[in-house]
Chains A and B, each alone.
Chain A
Amino acid sequence: MPLIRGSPPDAAREDSRSPGAARDDLRSDDPLVRRRAVRRLGDGPEAVAALMTALRTEREPAVREAILTALAALPDAAGPLASLLRSQDAGLRNGAIEALQTMPGPARLLLPGLLSDRDADVRLLSAEIARCLPAGEATALLCGLLERENDVNVCTTAVEILAEIGTPDAVPVLRGLTRRFPTTQVLGFAADVAVKRITGAQN
């Protein structure tokens, strides 16, 4: 019989060093050591600070993914993750969005503030986070954004998301966009498409 029965895994192989040692290992030169350190840091409030510090300097995608997944499991990390929406690093911005999308509870508390941020880029990226909320809640938040938003790119993003998940409550706001932005044809076109998708209209 060429098939062999392996030995049960050796419990001693499991890395059981302390969270303190894990924080030291986060600075290791070896990505594998850093990744394992992330995964045994624990879930106390001190873990958020250590993980955020590591994330800001980490360049290895597999380690970044482990850090973002660990942070997404920590409700206290929502605020620090949201701060990454201002990062110049596209990987960090997108990683933060994906992490916040997996934590709708904490994210919904932050979204009203983020969608009112002075920075248009933050408002645009935050609209993507709203995608993770129940349709009615996302529709209300994005409609509120559209009613006060003057940046065309932010509006277009919100309209695209509403086209995908919006409820009929969004239709009046979407129709109003054409009047508010009469010279921005692309926005009127996107709003028309969204209305048709939401209402099921053929033409």
Chain B
Amino acid sequence: MPADKPDRPDSTEIRIADHEFRRFRDFLYRRTGIVFSDAQRAYVERRLTDRILAAGSRSFSEHFARLLVEPDELERLISAFTVNETYFYREDYQLRCLTSNLLDRITARKRRGQPIRLWSVPCSTGEEPYSIAIWLLENWSRVDSWDIEIIGSDIDVRALDAAQDGVYSERSLMRLPRPLVAKYFTAMDGGRYRIDEALRGSVQFSQVNIIDQADTGRWRDIDVVFCRNVLIYFDDMARRTAANNLYDCLAPGGYICLGHTESMSRISPLFHVCRFPEAIVYQKPWEDSHA
């Protein structure tokens, strides 16, 4: 307890020197692909200082040494620097595109019995993969005719734990029509809701860092990747690496849905641009060739 340890520093006593900031920034980039500029130093320092104090370290150098040997603390640190706020039916125009265009094209080339594989990465605390599940159940008339696998992946294991738990606040559900809340959620104490057990059991969650080839290399034959609002945190090299990794995960003809401010055309020449009434998405060529 802090009162018993008067020598424990407080936030005003933690100083991060210029070279330490640069070292930490490089470290975080290598581990996550996330880039912070000098202008974001205050933001980075605040979160880093919080972690140093919470972990009981006395200085940056002590904490940095721990990061290299304590995977749990590294996970907590990554959690502090990844943005996890999201909500159900966010960017639902892409879900409309999924059911009005993409799935018809995918199933036209797929044999019966082959699953349709949809991947939400990063999935944060699960709002997106569960949104995909609910949207398909509510809006795709052929949902009963196909086996549909939904995968949610994130670099942050704490977010994944929350996703598997499936408990959400009113704020997370603000875009979801109330009848759907009633249909798929159970009200809990404190204005919280737990998603239906069957839905929780239908989404497979896993830890994946999309710039890590070994992580993404385990996945193949994905039909649609939802990779929204993460590449904007990466620099050019990390974006390019992520695009290559996702390309290899996709089935021929598979699609990537990015956030509405992102463009794969500026990242990689590997994908075709597909303009649908609801959204622009990016497609891996049917043949593994552009020629």
Which A residues contact B (CB, under 8 angstroms)? 1-6, 8-11, 13-15, 31-32, 35-36, 39-40, 59-62, 65-66, 69, 72-73, 101-103, 132
Contact = CB atoms under 8 A, between A and B. Distances in A.
B149 to A, nearest CB: 4
B121 interface: no
B269 interface: yes
Nearest to A103: B237
Interface residues of B, number: 43
A61 B289 CA distance: 7
A180 to B, nearest CB: 34
B148 A2 contact: yes
Given A11-B218, A14-B218, A61-B291, A4 B241 contact: no
Contacts of A13: 218, 220
Contacts of A4: 115, 147-149, 202
Nearest to B213: A39
A95 to B, nearest CB: 9
Contacts of A61: 269-270, 289-291
B202 A1 contact: yes
A62 B290 contact: yes
B144 A65 contact: no
B219 A69 contact: no
Contacts of B117: 6
A4 B199 CA distance: 9
B180 interface: no
A141 to B, nearest CB: 19
B193 to A, nearest CB: 19
B204 A5 contact: yes
A6 B291 contact: no
Given A5-B202, A72-B240, 8 more contacts: A1-B198, A2-B146, A3-B136, A9-B220, A36-B248, A61-B270, A62-B270, A65-B269
A73 B241 CA distance: 9
B289 A62 contact: yes
Given A3-B150, A13-B218, A14-B214, A8 B248 contact: no
A11 B219 CA distance: 9
A14 B213 CA distance: 10
B210 to A, nearest CB: 14
Contacts of A66: 244
A31 B285 CA distance: 13
B236 to A, nearest CB: 4
Contacts of B202: 1, 3-5
A133 to B, nearest CB: 13
B115 A65 contact: no
Nearest to B245: A39
B217 interface: yes
26 contacts: A1-B198, A1-B202, A2-B143, A2-B146, A2-B148, A3-B133, A3-B150, A5-B202, A9-B218, A10-B218, A11-B218, A14-B214, A14-B217, A31-B289, A32-B288, A36-B248, A39-B213, A60-B289, A60-B290, A60-B291, A62-B247, A62-B288, A62-B290, A72-B240, A73-B241, A132-B236
